[in-house]
Chains A and B, each alone.
Chain A
Amino acid sequence: DTGVSQDPRHKITKRGQNVTFRCDPISEHNRLYWYRQTLGQGPEFLTYFQNEAQLEKSRLLSDRFSAERPKGSFSTLEIQRTEQGDSAMYLCASSLVAPTGVDEKLFFGSGTQLSVL
Chain B
Amino acid sequence: QKEVEQNSGPLSVPEGAIASLNCTYSDRGSQSFFWYRQYSGKSPELIMFIYSNGDKEDGRFTAQLNKASQYVSLLIRDSQPSDSATYLCAVSGYSTLTFGKGTMLLVSP
Contact residues of A with B, CB < 8 Å? 31, 33, 40-45, 48, 55-56, 89, 91, 102, 104-111
Residues of chain B lying within 8 A (CB to CB) of residue A108 = 43-45
Residues of chain A lying within 8 A (CB to CB) of residue B92 = 104
Q: CB within 8 A of B101: which of A40, A102, A111?
A: A40
CA distance A48 to B34 in the complex (A): 19
Interface centre among A48, A107, A108 (most CB of B within 10 A): A108
Quick check: B96 and A48 within 8 Å, CB to CB? yes
Quick check: A104 and B101 within 8 Å, CB to CB? no
Quick check: B101 and A42 within 8 Å, CB to CB? yes
Chain B interfacial residues counted at CB < 8 A: 21
Closest B residue to A59 by CB, please name it: B96
CA distance A89 to B42 in the complex (A): 10
Interface centre among A91, A104, A105, A106 (most CB of B within 10 A): A104
Closest B residue to A91 by CB, please name it: B43
- The answer to the question of B17 belonging to the interface, with a C-beta cut-off of 8 Å to chain A, is no
Nearest CB on A from B8, distance (A): 7
